[in-house]
Amino acid sequence: MAKLEPSKLQPRGRKVKILATTGPATQDPEVLRALFLAGADAFRVNMSHGEHAMHAQTIANIRTLEKEFNRPIAILADLQGPKLRVGKFADGRAVIPHGGAFTFDRSSEPGDATRVELPHPEIFDVAQVGQRLLVNDGKMRFRVVEVAGDTIRCKAEVGGVISDRKGVNVPDAEIPIPALTDKDRRDLAFAMDQGADWIGLSFVQRPDDLAEARKLMGNRGSLCAKIEKPSAIRRLAEIIEMADGIMVARGDLGVELNPEEVPPLQKKIVNMTRLTGKPVIVATQMLESMIESPAPTRAEVSDVANAVYDGADAVMLSAETAAGAWPEEAVLMMAAIARQVEQDEDYKSRVRMLDTPSEATTADALAHACMTIADTVRLSAIAVFTFSGSSARRVSRERPAVPVIVLTPNIAVARRVALLWGAHPVATRDIGSFEEMVAKCKRMALRHGFGGPGSRLAVMAGVPFGQPGATNLVHVVTVQGDELESYSAEGLLS
């Protein structure tokens, strides 16, 4: 593959971001590079699979891409979370007939067609008659008919083959287990040491689940709560408030809920998160057939398109890029779908159907003003100077008609905002004066391919400079042709 000069890497031509999962299919650095060039804006490292050494090499390869293309890339380390599983069977498996009786108990004896160990006392504490126990990603469904001490007797509403260590879901109860296992704590410490930008917290049930992860993270990285439990839906507003971002993890959510319940819930989660300005990711089975096929189904294309129309910040590829036969093609397809949707003349009105009222702050008012200016005056981009990323989130929340160049002296912030809708992060040295701000804004717009001579930009910043939280200025500038300096060889901070 021919090397692409960093200065020749053009803007993505879309505002929704693509989060690609790494795995065996991306171990070759050239494959990872191909995914980035195809359109991946961020990468997910799945801590459920693989050793730390493999993940460390993957993260190092991503950081090499950053340096090569001078573009911050977000890395999301996705923790496995607590897994509920049955015990083992004498023959490794058993066949349970539809309507048959079956018991889950605390005995460590190998199971058979009548019973198996369920080594999770927390389930016995909350189990009640009438509740469901789902096994093997919901392929088998049991209804509790009796709870007596260390036994849960059930009727197999949907039988089938059950085998060793299959997963169990309990959709009708909130299980009193911590969100972090010992493995998760080790993985979280590793991810922080490796400089991961986002941590994905699995199987969140309640706002308190985020507290321990937040404490272990300190001031490093951002926390993304994965919504995949019905109990999380019941306290969704509180969880969104506690998290830095949200992932609609439709895989497990679709196991514990009826399939027809998931689409409206997806829209509800996206809308509630968008109101806060925090990034929301739609994930799982988006282009699933592309694990084996070079082309998606029409239904999958519509699924991705609907997430883009709903205004999600990012759409995610899982096994398609982690272990699939066509990882680059999957990214190219997702990018093509997003571009096509965003070129729809009705896209702007549809993505703004959600009313995102500004808070009574100067920064919110100015963010809204930037959106209005972009609708009224022909702009090539909005440039936002930010220390924490909050101003960038405010502007992104408005879903402006033009891209948002996010200028920050903090490389960690630049990487984190790479998941924001419409954001093009640039790590740059701090500014000290109004004139320097205007000059840098023009220079970076030209350098990164946003407009040319004669194009106009709206600049949002705070005066005096160098004070976080002081956003109080919007300024429209015109770019001149002689303002582009030679490409900086100084790396990510230029």
DSSP letters of 145-209? EEEETTEEEEEEEE-EEEETT-BEE-TTS-----S--HHHHHHHHHHHHTT-SEEEEPS--STTH
The DSSP letter of residue 355 is -
459 half-sphere exposure, CB direction, 13 A CA radius: 24
Angle between helices 298-309 and 327-342 (to 10 degrees): 50
- Using alpha carbons, select from 201, 310, 224, 206 the residue that is nearest to residue 263: 310
pLDDT in tens, 126-136: 999 999 999 99
Q: What percent of the chain has pLDDT over 70?
A: 94
Give the pLDDT band (50/70/90) at residue 40. very high
d(CA 185, CA 75) in angstroms, rounded, equals 18
Report the C-alpha gap between 38 and 20 in whole angstroms: 11
At residue 358's C-alpha, the angle toward residues 357 and 360, to 5°, is: 130
For residues 447 and 445, give the distance between their C-alpha atoms in angstroms, rounded to a whole number.
6
**In CATH, what number does 362-483 get?**
3.40.1380.20
pLDDT digits (tens, 9 = 90+) for 343-399: 999 999 999 999 888 888 988 999 999 999 999 999 999 999 999 999 999 999 999
Q: Find all residues with CB under 8 Å of 290, minimum gap 6, and list them.
A: 296, 300, 320, 324, 326, 329, 330, 333
Which residue, among 291, 306, 458, 483, has the nearest Cα to 383 in the 3D structure?
458
DSSP 85: B
- The answer on pLDDT for 490 being more than 70 is no
Question: Catalytic annotation on 26?
Answer: no
Tell me which residue of 474, 270, 274, 224 sits closest to 394, measured CA to CA: 274
The strand order across the sheet containing 404-408 reads 423-427, 404-408, 381-385, 456-462, 471-478
Query: For 160-187, how does the pLDDT look when each residue is reduced to its tens digit (9 = 90+)?
Result: 999 999 999 999 999 999 889 999 999 9
Residue 478, beta-bridge partner list = 456
Active site residue 362: no
Question: Which residue among 14, 15, 17, 44 is the active-site one?
Answer: 44
Provide the 3-class DSSP secondary structure of residue 130: coil
* Catalytic (active site) residue 155: no
pLDDT, tens digit, for every residue of 427-474?
998 888 888 888 999 999 999 999 888 999 999 988 777 666 678 889
Q: What is the pLDDT of residue 483?
A: 58
pLDDT in tens, 288-320: 999 999 999 999 999 999 999 999 999 999 999
Is 44 in the active site? yes
Q: Where in the chain is the domain with CATH 3.40.1380.20?
A: 362-483
Of the pLDDT bands very low, low, confident and very high (cuts 50, 70, 90), residue 330 is: very high
Looking at residue 272, what is its pLDDT? 97
Q: Is the pLDDT of residue 487 over 70?
A: no
Q: Which CATH architecture has domain 93-169?
A: Beta Barrel (2.40)
What pLDDT does residue 365 have?
A: 93
The active-site residue out of 58, 284, 408, 428 is 284
Residue 357 is predicted with a pLDDT of 86
Tokens linked to 112: 């058979």
Give ∠ CA 285-290-295 in degrees, rounded to 5.
125
**Region(s) of the chain under CATH 3.20.20.60:** 6-81+178-345
**Residue 299 burial (10 A CB sphere; 0-12, 13-18, 19+):** exposed
What confidence score (pLDDT) does residue 466 get?
65
CB 333 within 8 A of CB 287: yes
Would you state the pLDDT for residue 462? 80
Ranges for all domains in the chain classified under CATH 2.40.33.10: 93-169
CA dist list (Å): 49 to 22, 182, 298, 322 = 10, 15, 30, 10
Please name the helix (run of DSSP H) or strand (run of DSSP E) that holds residue 416, with its range, or none: helix 411-416
How far out from the chain centre does Cα 177 lie? 24
List, for residues 246-304, the tens digit of each pLDDT value: 999 998 899 989 889 999 999 999 999 999 999 999 999 999 999 999 999 999 999 99
Confidence (pLDDT) at 1: 37
Q: Tell me the pLDDT band of 2, cut-offs 50, 70 and 90.
A: very low
Query: How far is 416 from 413, CA to CA, in rounded Å?
Result: 5
**pLDDT at 493 (0 to 100):** 53
Joined tokens for residue 268: 């509800």
412, pLDDT greater than 70: yes
Query: What is the CB neighbour count within 10 angstroms for residue 125?
Result: 11
Concatenated DSSP letters of 16-57: SEEEEE-SGGG-SHHHHHHHHHHT--EEEEETTSS-HHHHHH
- Integer Cα distance of 426 and 244 in angstroms: 20
Per-residue model confidence (pLDDT) at position 485: 46
Question: Buried (b) or exposed (e) across 373-403, using 16+ Cβ within 10 A?
Answer: bbeeeebbbbbbbbbebbbbbbbbbbbbbbb
Under DSSP, the state recorded for 95 is E
d(CA 391, CA 384): 7
Between 273 and 4, residue with greater pLDDT: 273
Confidence band, pLDDT 50/70/90 cuts, at residue 484 = low
Which whole number is the average pLDDT over 200-215? 95
CA atoms within 13 A on the CB side of 390: 12
- Residues 223 and 202: their CA atoms lie apart, in Å, by 11
Decide if pLDDT at 6 tops 70: no
Between 256 and 201, where is the model more confident? 201
How much is the pLDDT for 482?
62
- CATH 3.20.20.60 holds for 6-81+178-345: yes
Q: Indicate which residue of 166, 226, 393, 415 is catalytic.
A: 226
CA distance 70 to 476: 26
**Mean pLDDT for the chain overall:** 92
